[in-house]
Amino acid sequence: MRTTTKSARPSHGFSKFLCGLFAGGGLDVMTTALLTALPPPPPRARVLDFCSGSGTIAAALRAGSGGGALRLHLLDADAVALHAARRNVADARAHVLSDGFEALPRRPRFDWIVSNPPVHNGLQADFRVLRLLVRRAARRLRSGGELFIVVQTYVPLGAMLADQPKLEDVRTLSDDGRFSVWAARKRAQGGGGGEKKAMAGKRKREGSCPVL
Ligand SMILES: C[S@@+](CC[C@H](N)C(=O)[O-])C[C@H]1O[C@@H](n2cnc3c(N)ncnc32)[C@H](O)[C@@H]1O
């Protein structure tokens, strides 16, 4: 297990909130766990804040990036939350109203996807959005891109991530017994599969040559 510690407390820097938003538009305890565990994003990283709510994760990353000029994209299914996100992270590249990845354009691909996704529907555990995120993340990440998710520790996210053939290096960045922050990386493309394709192409070309 790799553990990352940061001394500075994360902050999104918002001064105004809209009523009725997740955590009242403030910095939720799980979101704080996630932000505290994250490594610094690469300079100019293209980051998707998936289930962004009012934009807390994107804003805190921007505030902590020391002018790293992150290219931020925010996505949420709640129009009011996204309205707040547009105000809170006005310089983001995109604010997308979307159920899961549904309305998100296929390009660009991301260096990072970061999320504090919903795992409840009312009082019932409901992993629909989480499962969707885990299943679809790889095709939205660039090769070598990273996925970071915070969940309550009881959620079997490690097993869900380990089930994804296009993800590797599944690990917990932090676990305090209540909340776990998980990370996984998209496998580099062009490994064994690329070699196989190249060999198949070579055989095909050779097969079509006249035999002298
Ligand atoms: C736990 S809150 C996290 C909000 C914010 N990222 C934070 O950390 O403060 C989950 C967010 O997921 C959004 N959400 C719920 N279902 C969704 C779906 N199907 N697609 C996209 N976003 C969804 C909610 O509107 C809510 O803003």
Residue 137 domain-assigned?
yes
CA distance 190 to 155: 33
Instruction: Tell me which residues have their CB closer than 6 angstroms to ligand 1.
Output: 22-23, 28, 31, 51-53, 56-57, 76-78, 81, 98-100, 116-118, 129
Residue 11 domain-assigned?
no
* DSSP H helices in the chain: 29-37, 56-64, 79-88, 128-140, 157-162, 192-207
Cα dihedral 50, 53, 57, 58 sign: positive
Q: Span 125-131, mean pLDDT?
A: 97
Question: What tens digit of pLDDT does each residue of 165-206 get?
Answer: 999 999 999 999 999 999 999 999 765 444 455 445 444 544
Q: What is the DSSP-derived secondary structure letter of residue 109?
A: -
**Is residue 11 very low, low, confident or very high in pLDDT (cuts 50, 70, 90)?**
confident
CA distance 30 to 149: 10
The pTM assigned to this predicted structure is: 0.85
Check if the beta carbon of residue 60 is closer than 8 Å to that of residue 41: no
- Tell me which residue has its CA closest to atom 25 in ligand 1: 78
pLDDT at residue 19 tops 70 = no
Residue 1 domain-assigned?
no
Whole-angstrom CA distances from 149 to 37, 71, 113, 185 are: 10, 19, 8, 12
Instruction: Please give the distance, rounded to the nearest whole angstrom, from the Cα atom of residue 117 to the centre of ligand 1.
Output: 5
pLDDT at residue 3 tops 50 = no
Please give the pLDDT value at position 209: 40
Instruction: Please give the distance, rounded to the nearest whole angstrom, from the Cα atom of residue 33 to the centre of ligand 1.
Output: 16
**Is residue 208 very low, low, confident or very high in pLDDT (cuts 50, 70, 90)?**
very low
Q: Span 145-159, mean pLDDT?
A: 98
Check if the beta carbon of residue 82 is closer than 8 Å to that of residue 97: yes
Question: What tens digit of pLDDT does each residue of 30-67 get?
Answer: 999 999 999 999 999 999 999 999 999 999 999 988 75
Query: What burial class does residue 204 get, using C-beta atoms within 10 Å of its C-beta: 0-12 exposed, 13-18 middle, 19+ buried?
Result: exposed
Q: What is the CATH number of the domain that holds 183?
A: 3.40.50.150
Residue 89: CB partners within 8 Å, gap ≥ 6? 55, 58, 59, 62, 72, 74, 95
The fraction of the chain above a pLDDT of 70, given in percent, is 78
Residue 211 domain-assigned?
no
Count of domains forming the chain: 1
Instruction: Please give the distance, rounded to the nearest whole angstrom, from the Cα atom of residue 192 to the centre of ligand 1.
Output: 37
Residue 36 domain-assigned?
yes
70 token code pair: 């992150």
Residue 16 domain-assigned?
no
Residue ranges making up the domain that contains 100: 29-206
Instruction: Please give the distance, rounded to the nearest whole angstrom, from the Cα atom of residue 76 to the centre of ligand 1.
Output: 6
